[in-house]
Amino acid sequence: MVEKQGFGTILMHAVLIIGIAIVCFPIYLTFVGSTLTHFEIIRPPMPLVPGPHFIDNYSEALTSGITAPVGRMLFNSFVMAMGIAIGKIAISILSAYAIVYFRFPFRMFAFWAIFMTLMLPVEVRIVPTYEVVASLGMLNSYTGLILPLIASATATFLFRQFFMTVPDELVEAARVDGAGPLRFFKDILLPLSVTNIAALFVILFIYGWNQFLWPLLITTRPEMNTIVMGLKQMMPTADDYGNWPVTMAAATLAVLPPVAVVIFMQRLFVKGLVETEK
Amino acid sequence: MACAGPASSGRPMEKRVTFDNRLLPYLLLTPQLVVTIVFFFWPAAQALYQSLLLPDPFGLGARFVWFSNFEYLFNDRYYLQSFVTTAVFTFFVTLVSMSVALLFAVMADQVIKGAGAYKTLLIWPYAVAPAVAGVMWLFMFQPSIGVIAFYMKAVGIDWNPVLDGGQAMTLVILAAAWKQISYNFLFFLAGLQAIPKSLIEAAAIDGAGKWHRFRTIIFPLLSPTTFFLLVVNIVYAFFETFGIIHTMTSGGPGQSTTILVYKVYSDGFVGQDLGSSAAQSVILMVVVGILTVIQFRFIERRVHY
């Protein structure tokens, strides 16, 4: 560093530690709330250290919940997140391969058609998309949860960008050895793309897990709810005291999988975030 | 940083060596194109079409009315108010989350011990869904049970976001900004670490103090990152905060936190005013279009750095 480390460094550590405390406080408090009784919470101030009701609250949340068992909602979220992540990667890598490695009529047209989807987030075209999905009979189904969200220009561009950096000599060598396009894709391009696929998977899993508006609209049956939107349904309202500890247990469970992904796959997560820029 | 998209035309974007096959490329493209057409272009066309229709009160048919839905919207006090609300919300979310993130990033860039741990602890709120962030912040600030609300009232603040629009707005801004700090921090930190240390050392030898160095060297060199984050944060505040608004205030009290995206939803699904909702969708598509173009033009420029 430029200057002698001294009081300034201590100050910087202090700012960072206070900052982290503030940033983490909402999540900590949610966890504390999930270990108390309903009575302790509705008569403020609630205690700021965890109580002894961890097991009661979590087992109640997982097995019966409030609107539907949280275990079931976690499963739905998992299916949705995996479906979106795998689906997006699969269709994007194929279309990027077609656009980069082949010459055919309408190639640029296909490219622009995919590019346009960047401009249409689901929140913007929500009513007509709902009508389309309803008319296809996909309400309350995993297909309806996943399919409309798997078209993605971002993933296609990421793969296209990566394919452009793959040396042409590899294609030439493959052709000399008599490998066709499918063989080249399977044995050379796919293995080279593994890191990119993994980084993208981390980002897309979080994206899929955290969807809110879409499942809110198309899952009307509680057993099809995902955890993030189901949480809203569990929230105590003005005329209903609800059950705060169980709701907070559900909130903790809702953030656990994506947070674990970020912490344990931090390197891939950062790579994915920087490359997708989205 | 990956630069993607048609903005990069002009530089080599074509492979020299390709495969010859007539059918295969179409087969490879089919899945993505089918999904794109069915779930993007069809609904978008529907929105365009519906925005020109006025459904009759019984929902039996609709009349073609040209642009009167748009005319109506731009004369609607509530819709114009929603523009102002969105602007205020977006401005403060962007300002708060970017300045806090920049402060943390500057600190984390300078400490040597524990930088990795600080980074890990600051980035994980990224994984919290906006809707869950809303629930967590409501849990702290809900006037009847929230523990922070309790202490605020104890020191004499008249805290009631359920009735006070300004307080409700403050609350959703805080929750939305909080959720975005991680993202901004990560990009600011990467930007800071890319600045050559020799520049900063040279300035220090010339006697420039810390603040002076930050203002005249670090901040200008960081401007590409800052501009990029500005666009990303605006997009975030516009389109990705629906969950926060819906769980915390449902657009209320009154219309005080009804941002544009929330209004599309509430007019379309709650109010069942499909013509107006479709017209609002079309207006938002134009907004996204403009933001996307700005983003790509900017990325193109930055590649030359």
Is the pLDDT at B4 greater than 70, yes or no? no
Residue A40 near residue A46 (C-beta atoms within 8 A):
yes
Contact criterion met (CB < 8 Å) for B28 and A158 = no
Largest CA distance in chain B: 78
Query: Which chain B positions have a beta carbon within 8 Å of A147's beta carbon?
Result: 35, 39
- Give the lowest-confidence range in B46-55, B100-109, B186-195: B46-55
Higher pLDDT, A209 or B11: A209
- CA of A249, closest CA in chain B: separation in Å? 11
* Spatial CA neighbour of A259 closest among B275, B296, B122, B101: B122
- CA of A62, closest CA in chain B: separation in Å? 17
Q: Give the SS3 label for residue B129.
A: coil
* Mean pLDDT confidence for A116-129: 76
Confidence of residue B3 (pLDDT cuts 50, 70, 90): very low
Contact criterion met (CB < 8 Å) for B19 and A3 = no
What is the percent of chain B with per-residue pLDDT over 70, rounded to a whole number?
Answer: 90
B98 conformational bin, left if phi > 0, alpha if psi -120 to 50, beta if neither: alpha
Q: What pLDDT, in 10s, does the model give residues A223-267?
A: 889 999 888 888 877 666 678 888 899 999 999 999 998 888 888
Per-residue model confidence (pLDDT) at position B13 = 61
Contact criterion met (CB < 8 Å) for A158 and B4 = yes
Is the pLDDT at B270 greater than 70, yes or no? yes
Per-residue model confidence (pLDDT) at position A56 = 86
Per-residue model confidence (pLDDT) at position B177 = 95
Protein fold of A67-276:
MetI-like fold (1.10.3720)
Query: Which chain B positions have a beta carbon within 8 Å of A228's beta carbon?
Result: 129, 131-132, 243
Q: What pLDDT, in 10s, does the model give residues B131-160?
A: 999 999 999 998 888 888 888 888 888 888
Contact criterion met (CB < 8 Å) for B123 and A217 = no
| Helix and strand numbers, DSSP H then E, in chain A | 16, 0
- CA of B87, closest CA in chain A: separation in Å? 17
Residue A69 near residue A63 (C-beta atoms within 8 A):
yes
Minimum Cα–Cα distance from A47: chain B residue: B147
Q: What are phi and psi of A34, to 5 degrees?
A: -80, -5
Nearest CB to A251 within list B136, B182, B200: B136
* Spatial CA neighbour of B38 closest among A278, A131, A108, A220: A131
Query: Which chain A positions have a beta carbon within 8 Å of B181's beta carbon?
Result: 23
Residue B94 near residue B237 (C-beta atoms within 8 A):
yes
Contact criterion met (CB < 8 Å) for B28 and A95 = yes
Nearest CB to A181 within list B13, B21, B278: B21
Q: Give the SS3 label for residue A83.
A: helix
Nearest CB to A151 within list B36, B110, B131: B36
- CA of A166, closest CA in chain B: separation in Å? 10
Q: What are phi and psi of B19, to 5 degrees?
A: -95, 150
Q: Which residues contact B106 (CB under 8 A, 6 or more apart)?
A: B188, B192, B214, B218
* Domains delineated in chain B: 77-303 (1.10.3720.10)
Quote the tokens at residue A157: 């561009």
Is the pLDDT at A125 greater than 80, yes or no? no
Nearest CB to B122 within list A23, A217, A277: A23
Residue B233 near residue B89 (C-beta atoms within 8 A):
no
Q: Give per-residue burial for B96-121: e unless 16+ CB within 10 Å, then b.
A: bbbebbbbbbbbbbbbeeebeebbeb
Portion 72-91 of A in contact with B at CB < 8 A: 90-91
Whole-angstrom distance, CA of residue A25 vs CA of residue B139:
12
Contact criterion met (CB < 8 Å) for B25 and A102 = yes
Whole-angstrom distance, CA of residue B137 vs CA of residue B120:
22
HSE, CB side, 13 Å, CA atoms: give it for residue A54: 8
Contact criterion met (CB < 8 Å) for B123 and A42 = no
Whole-angstrom distance, CA of residue B95 vs CA of residue B233:
9
Q: What pLDDT, in 10s, does the model give residues B122-134?
A: 888 889 999 999 9
Is the pLDDT at B7 greater than 50, yes or no? no
Portion 173-212 of A in contact with B at CB < 8 A: 175, 180-182, 184, 206, 209-212
Query: Which chain A positions have a beta carbon within 8 Å of B18's beta carbon?
Result: 101-103, 171
- Give the lowest-confidence range in A19-23, A273-277, B84-88, B265-269: A273-277
- Give the lowest-confidence range in A212-216, A258-262, B107-111: B107-111
Inter-chain CB pairs, A–B, below 8 Å = 320
Per-residue model confidence (pLDDT) at position A239 = 61
What is the percent of chain B with per-residue pLDDT over 90, rounded to a whole number?
Answer: 21
Higher pLDDT, B233 or A235: B233
Minimum Cα–Cα distance from A11: chain B residue: B107
Per-residue model confidence (pLDDT) at position A235 = 82
Minimum Cα–Cα distance from B108: chain A residue: A16
Suggest the residue from B128, B141, B232 to mutate for an interface test with chain A (most A CBs closer than 10 A).
B128
Suggest the residue from B39, B179, B205, B232 to mutate for an interface test with chain A (most A CBs closer than 10 A).
B39
Q: H/E element holding A96?
A: helix A70-101
Per-residue model confidence (pLDDT) at position B250 = 85
Higher pLDDT, A155 or B59: A155
Q: DSSP state, B184?
A: H
Residue that has been written with the tokens 């642009």 in this structure: B67
Minimum Cα–Cα distance from A160: chain B residue: B4
Query: Which chain B positions have a beta carbon within 8 Å of A244's beta carbon?
Result: 139, 145
Quote the tokens at residue B24: 């295969």
- CA of A72, closest CA in chain B: separation in Å? 18
Per-residue model confidence (pLDDT) at position B56 = 67
Q: What pLDDT, in 10s, does the model give residues A56-96?
A: 888 888 888 777 888 899 999 999 999 999 999 999 999 99
Minimum Cα–Cα distance from A180: chain B residue: B19
* Spatial CA neighbour of B127 closest among A209, A230, A18, A79: A209
Per-residue model confidence (pLDDT) at position B303 = 41
Is the pLDDT at B300 greater than 60, yes or no? no
Query: Which chain A positions have a beta carbon within 8 Å of B42's beta carbon?
Result: 128, 132
- Give the lowest-confidence range in A16-25, A111-120, A157-166: A111-120
Average pLDDT, chain B: 83
Whole-angstrom distance, CA of residue B293 vs CA of residue B297:
6
Average pLDDT, chain A: 86
Give Cα B217 distance to the centre of its chain: 28
| Interface check A37 vs B, CB under 8 A | no
Per-residue model confidence (pLDDT) at position B256 = 86
Per-residue model confidence (pLDDT) at position B305 = 38
